[in-house]
Amino acid sequence: MSTSIAAIVAGSVVGLGMFVLGAAWRGKLRLTRLSGKSTSGAFRHVVVAAVVLLVTWALTGWTLAAATIALVATMASIAVRRHGRRRDERALVDAIAVWTEQLRDTLAGSNGLEQTITATAAHAPAALR
């Protein structure tokens, strides 16, 4: 094993250890079971990192540059995915706001809460169905 690969592996282990310790210290470490949805996303990020790492290393021959560019590409891929998730959350919040206004308007007509919910449920935004 070459010294540069050993250094990358050692640095990765130290970085992972620091991440786990920091997350445990803050109480933010969530151990969740991998579902099919999150596994496919994680697999996609690993594939992106591996392809970028190999292409960069083949073009430059620099191991550290390849690892750094692969890390940046992976982080960019994660950021793009999170941005899409935020858009979905905004659409859900807008749908809740629209339905809440429908509830308010129907309740203003002196209907009971149960009748209001059943009356507006059929016309609720598609994001809430």
Is 107 buried (19+), middle (13-18) or exposed (0-12) by CB count in 10 A?
Answer: middle
Residue 80 has a CB neighbour count (10 Å cut-off) of: 10
Domain count, the chain: 1
pLDDT in the model for residue 88? 74
Per-residue pLDDT of the chain (129 residues; tens, 9 = 90+): 688 888 888 888 888 888 888 777 777 656 555 445 555 677 888 888 899 999 998 999 998 888 899 888 888 888 877 776 676 778 888 889 999 999 898 888 877 888 888 888 888 888 877
| pTM check: above 0.85 | no
The boundaries of the domain holding residue 79 are 3-29+36-128
How far apart, in whole angstroms, are the C-alpha atoms of residue 54 and residue 119?
59
